[in-house]
Amino acid sequence: MTGAPGTRQRYAVIVVGSGISGLFVALEARRLGPVLVLTKGSIDDCNTRWAQGGIAAAVGPLDSPEQHLADTIAAGAGLVDEEAARILCFEAPARIRDLVRYGVSFDSLGGEVALGREAAHSRARVLHAGGDQTGAAIETALSAAAMDPAITILDHTLVTRLAVEEGEARGVEAVHLQTGEREWYEGDAIVLGTGGAGQLFSHTTNPEVATGDGVALAFDAGAEIADIEFYQFHPTALRVPGLPTFLISEAVRGEGAVLRNLAGEAFMQRYHPLADLAPRDVVSRAIVREMRREGSDHVFLDCTGLKSVDLAARFPAIFAHCMEAGIDMRVDPIPVAPAAHYLMGGVRTDTWGRTTIPRLYACGECACTGVHGANRLASNSLMETVVFGKRVVEHLAAGGGGAATATPDRIPFPAPSTAAPSHRELQAMMWECAGIERDGPGLERGLQTISGWPARQPGACTRGAFERQQMTTVAALMLTAALRRTESRGGHYRSDYPERDDAHWRRRQVFIRA
């Protein structure tokens, strides 16, 4: 059911966010009692809908959870939490069955599920639906299933504060954006499923809602934030003047497409033995270097050699979007450049989705389970949402209680007292100062820029003003963590410290509000 805020009511579970993590938790939790889903946009306004490539699970006859785990650990650059990653990889096949039960129809070939291969995977293990529309297919199926009397969905409802009383999360404060009405909602458990923070950057594959709200809400409430310096930039986003950024799935390279510079040279073999299927951080930096060398803002993704692949059928959304831009990917190379894509860090949780605040849980991109380490393995993100979303509900069904153990050496950090004057100014600053290649002076300049912005306005209730406050908090955390980490690892690259330093930095940074 859907509606608008009304009489104060208590729920078994309050879910903040309506992407795959939020809806999956809501569907699984409805057996525990009434569930409330709050989302600041419409129900389908989320990162999930834009996920093209697919969802990773070891379901093929030549694959195994052990090999999936090995690939996940290798991609994570020494910082993967192996217990969490083992849970992800071994529980993945069962979660695929759950999605099928909720109405997701994965693509098949010859009567068997079709499996694609993406960067840093040693096997073809990526399931997809509707070709390159996997996220949309999952979101559509879960949205339909969530039209249930046990689930109340309030869209255009912005959560502005987590209520923590006597050390426990007890509810949320929210404002209905269409009426301006404020409301308190009480819950036995609060689950954050708010997605990522791609809107921190001027070039991103993320939708407008991805402003890091869940991370900032949890930080303000006193939860721990971990690995916030690690941001993944997707190597291949459409770069055409005057057109918005559009993701060109890694699955295209998985089918055999080749990156070429303006001279037509296939360059990735110079940077990594896996060439075009190297880890995303390697490919993104290689593209940046080729662009810098040639004085260009793009390279080309060449699909013209894929004669055995029906590109229009395999990648219908990408094919149609490119055609609208005047590019026939069957005969024309696609101009691409990296764009901000995925936040590896976030609200620190344990393997049951518990944060360090009792009764407050998090899952999906806003959470930091540790499975991604410093660099996410392609298509593990959608799987992470359902694996740990399931575990959140399993923990609640068993009685809940407790919290993630506090980190002994967590770093106190004062919330910024300023807020970005505009989204555009914040995005430009973060792209310049905390983008694909970082250095100490640039990171310090970013922090100085934040300190010079106007003072925060208490009680800001418009969506734009609230988002700028949340984005400023996440930006300050990211800049600080990146400045402290004097090495390069995974999605964090420092040109002034270009080497990985396991002796000093094979550890996570965890922040807590001072």
Strand partners, 113: 108
Identified catalytic residue from 280, 359, 468, 494: 280
Q: How many CA atoms lie within 13 A of 277 on its CB side?
A: 18
Q: How far apart are CA 418 and CA 420, in angstroms?
A: 7
Contact indicator for 231, 342 with CB cutoff of 8 Å:
yes
Map tokens 């939020």 to a residue.
22
b/e 291-329 (16+ beta carbons within 10 angstroms → b): beeeeeebbbbbbeebeebebeebbebbbebbeeeebeb
Angle, alpha carbons 91-72-204 (nearest 5°)? 105
H-state helical runs in 255-301 = 280-294
DSSP type of residue 66: H
Q: How far apart are CA 91 and CA 119, in angstroms?
A: 22
Instruction: Report which of 274, 279, 415, 409 is spatially closest to residue 344, judged by C-alpha positions.
Output: 279
H-state helical runs in 54-201 = 65-75, 82-101, 134-145
Q: How far apart are CA 213 and CA 226, in angstroms?
A: 15
Structure tokens at 460: 């800001």
Contact indicator for 196, 179 with CB cutoff of 8 Å:
no
Burial of 167 (0-12, 13-18, 19+ CB in 10 A): exposed
Structure tokens at 364: 């999906």
H-state helical runs in 40-166 = 65-75, 82-101, 134-145
Burial of 220 (0-12, 13-18, 19+ CB in 10 A): middle
Q: How far apart are CA 368 and CA 162, in angstroms?
A: 18
Residues in the chain: 514
Structure tokens at 242: 């005057």
Instruction: Report which of 251, 379, 265 is spatially closest to residue 306, judged by C-alpha positions.
Output: 251
Structure tokens at 453: 């912005």
Based on the residue annotation, tell me whether 314 is a catalytic residue of this protein: no
Residues acting as catalytic residues: 280
